Structure 1
């Protein structure tokens, strides 16, 4: 598999930088444009909402002015004070014509009524609206309204004040088209010449028609929300959520749009929210809400008016810009890739020449291609290569010699020249694999010097080191050339015997080792005897792994040393001794491993 070279990597790096730069710029432009469009839409919505609120307040004020005009007519006070609605009355008929004219010119008016203070608030003049137009309610159908708040509250007002009712659903009997519609009532007292309140003029307003007229010039994708001072929806795109208090299931604006809570707490006058920055509070929309007082300020009446626009409509322009940005990013990415390849090839060509010279350091033809005559950094580097080649060549022979020496030191004991534990374990594992393949045996002899510590303490470490070297020489003399002897560390040596002879030869070799180590050795004019204890483990009888063979031989050696120094013991005999001891402790007859087998002999120390 061919790995990508420096030219490819540098081209990719430079191309990525160009792509990332153009992509980041496009990404920032796209998101900045989205945020700008959403913010602009929010400001536009807020302006429209405020304008709609001002129109609503102005319309309420205009209706209030109409109420005052009707109440201030001289014939109004006269009819309210003297008429009982029973017979013909010229003044009443003139008022009826005026009321009819007001109804004709104001389609949002559902009812206009003159109600006297007398006769329990009897209606004297009343015009309703139904599907066919205006309806004047005649004497037999006129009702007493003194029990309604818009009558008895208005009668307590001073002349000139306007009563504004809460916005509610009209459930009064016989109201024609006003039945079941959201209604706002404005009323004012009627006073006579002496200032005594003798009746009230009340206008019922169709809130839906009023808002429809006010929002006629708004874009069609705007959604209108309207709530009273308690938060009940009066206008909502989903009609089932309006006037919930009238159906026993209140739906509050502050619950649907939590951002509007400050408006109802009267801590803020307007709020903005959008689904881009506040996805939980304005999912998929841009919202603007304003709190707008209306009617008599002393009544603390206000509405919360809101406009919403789908976020997708607001961001439609940003999506078009995003498509253009993607095209531009792709074009600039291709251009960046092309320029990156050209620049990378121009930059890496001398480096390829240097790399070829570095990989063929001792080839003369490779050195001839170096730009040695260049005066820039590439030329300096090429001349450095030439000097390095000569210096490295002179050091290679020394390095190889040192390497061979290090390999030997890593696998051999420095003091005795014997293989160390690492090399011995490697040879032992290979020997086990070969013995298993040939179905042969091998033996491991663990040799521990008996009196080495006393010699070391008595004569010093330098003499101890010479003793270890002498022991190593004697071990090699005793063993065959095919046998392996290694020093594990301290005064411990290990011997590997391979082949079919290992099972029978191991005890004999152990005896020869003990015999040669019991002979006196003379070091620096001092005579001394070392002696050794030996443990024997065999493959495959005692174990099938190198580590376990070594541990078993070690265990057999310690058993031989504890039974008396200058002895050897097989691991098999150690196990038999343990079984015999366990049988004696349990009070049971001892049987050797394998029923009916003759009892084996214990290992006898040999000198």
Structure 2
């Protein structure tokens, strides 16, 4: 029988865990929901801001195209040069005026459309203004001289086909009807003759308010819009008193109101998000997205920064409702956790010791005897699963040990021939050199290079070449005794270690046997192939007392053997000093190439 004290303690502990789990889950779900809502709102704002900026650039490009259409009309150049008012000139002027009037009628965003001559101090030749009742054509003495304005003299400096885009500013030109005192943007293009001489300028004045109204058609009404020029002056602000401060004798900068936007004006970033949840000091009670956008392809380095904001309270309204539901859910789950803890404690404590014993004797052979395998409930199922898991884990551990042995073998052996690779051979050679040096023994290294392998590989293909290398490895193993070590260094190069070689003849005899064995026809893939080999021999200690020197000298001797006509062997100690220097020099040239 289980003592009541233990059950009560376990029940209270489990109930506490349930309450803490449900409470912390609810709390973090509430916090995560707030962060998710703010993040989603920020992404939506950034997308909307990018869309607004893209629309702004497209609109500017479209209006720049309108300016170019008017500027490239042949009649525009004629009117800009003409100073007469004869019947023909009047007819031309009337037709061109109709075109300007049509542009004004079909584009409510234009406040003025003008053709200005280069001479006569920039006298307006054609001018249409928008007033409160419609479109007004200004004629005669009411036409003004505009040569002193930047949109005039800066545009005259441009090449034909280029467009001048001025800064967004307040229109302070007198007599401009509805445009006077409004935020506008000047777009202008030079008017040129067929010879390329610039004779005038076409100017379109854009109503910024109408332009923004057109751009914001798909934006939610609760979004707050901010626009600043390249210096940071607010051009549009939810508080109208903050916009165009430079026109009112003061400067109101976006980077002062939102310090995080400074990289946009330094051109180190093109967009950014600020939210009042994580940065309350930078965006109090708001989520803001800002994008730096150039005026268009013709605008050069001029840009604006657009921003959209949304109140944080609107963004988090859903999270607050979720928070109320979470509180009710936590209270309900706490009561349920207490009841379930009592029931779970009663069901769990009885087989707990059995399972604990099985877990502490996981690999013991007698562990299965203590498990309640005959039970038909969940505890019995758990016990049976535990027993199967133990057997599977033991099987997997055995398989893992087998794989480890295989990997160790692959790390030290050639995959194709199963012979020791360069790394294992050098280890054995190094150990053999140390033993020979310490005990006064002798050893020899035979460097084997196949003579005709390249031709076989080129003629029959790489797969057949691989089969030839396997056949060569088998032939070498048949020639060598158990005390010798044969390895594949790579490609068609093999190497043999002869330990305790008391007589030079043991190395040369073995080299002769290898040459003869590889001169014989080897059965490969239904063919008989004579590969042939050249062998270089170096001996310890006279040819070197370290593994690297012995292998290098055997390689050098092999090159001399191959130069004799292939199918020969050569001892390094029999080489002259000139031969050694020549081979070393040739090997150096090959390595550099």
Please give the range of the TM-score, normalised by the shorter of the 2 chains: 0.5 to 0.7
Q: How many angstroms does 1:299 deviate by?
A: 3.5
Alignment partner, residue 82 of structure 2: 82
Q: Does 1:125 align with 2:126?
A: yes
Matches within 5 A, 1:159-558: 159-295=160-296, 299-340=300-341
Alignment partner, residue 28 of structure 2: 28
Q: How many angstroms does 1:86 deviate by?
A: 9.6
Cα deviations across residues 67-112 of structure 1 (Å, max 9, x unaligned)?
Answer: 0000111111000001367997111111111111100111110000
Q: How many angstroms does 1:14 deviate by?
A: 3.9
CA distance in 1: counterparts of 2:254 and 2:62, whole angstroms: 28
Q: Does 1:49 align with 2:49?
A: yes
Cα deviations across residues 155-191 of structure 1 (Å, max 9, x unaligned)?
Answer: 1111001001011000000111111111100000001
SS at match of 2:26: helix
Gaps of 5+ in 1: 349-607
Cα deviations across residues 276-299 of structure 1 (Å, max 9, x unaligned)?
Answer: 111111111111111001146574
Retained in 2: the 8 A contact 1:117–1:198? yes
SS at match of 1:89: helix
SS at match of 2:148: coil
Q: How many angstroms does 1:152 deviate by?
A: 0.8
Retained in 1: the 8 A contact 2:128–2:136? yes
Question: How many corresponding residue pairs?
Answer: 345
Gaps of 5+ in 2: 350-593
Q: How many angstroms does 1:30 deviate by?
A: 1.5
- What TM-score do you get using the length of structure 2 for normalisation? 0.55
CA distance in 2: counterparts of 1:190 and 1:84, whole angstroms: 19
Alignment partner, residue 493 of structure 1: none
- Decide whether aligned partners of structure 1 residues 314 and 85 sit closer, same or farther in structure 2, where only a CA change above 3 A counts: farther
Cα deviations across residues 491-542 of structure 1 (Å, max 9, x unaligned)?
Answer: xxxxxxxxxxxxxxxxxxxxxxxxxxxxxxxxxxxxxxxxxxxxxxxxxxxx
Q: Does 1:61 align with 2:57?
A: no
CA distance in 2: counterparts of 1:254 and 1:41, whole angstroms: 22
Retained in 1: the 8 A contact 2:162–2:298? no
Retained in 1: the 8 A contact 2:58–2:296? no
SS at match of 1:203: strand
CA distance in 2: counterparts of 1:63 and 1:332, whole angstroms: 63
CA distance in 1: counterparts of 2:9 and 2:274, whole angstroms: 47
Cα deviations across residues 183-224 of structure 1 (Å, max 9, x unaligned)?
Answer: 100000001121110000000001111011011111111111
Retained in 2: the 8 A contact 1:161–1:189? yes
CA distance in 2: counterparts of 1:242 and 1:124, whole angstroms: 34
Alignment partner, residue 150 of structure 1: 151
| Cα-Cα RMSD | 2.4
- Decide whether aligned partners of structure 1 residues 50 and 127 sit closer, same or farther in structure 2, where only a CA change above 3 A counts: same
- What TM-score do you get using the length of structure 1 for normalisation? 0.54
Matches within 5 A, 1:554-593: none
Q: Does 1:106 align with 2:119?
A: no
Cα deviations across residues 207-247 of structure 1 (Å, max 9, x unaligned)?
Answer: 11101101111111111111000000111111010000110
Alignment partner, residue 566 of structure 1: none
Retained in 1: the 8 A contact 2:234–2:245? yes
SS at match of 1:111: strand
Q: How many angstroms does 1:322 deviate by?
A: 2.1
CA distance in 2: counterparts of 1:23 and 1:77, whole angstroms: 78
Q: How many angstroms does 1:42 deviate by?
A: 1.1
CA distance in 2: counterparts of 1:95 and 1:53, whole angstroms: 33
CA distance in 2: counterparts of 1:29 and 1:173, whole angstroms: 61
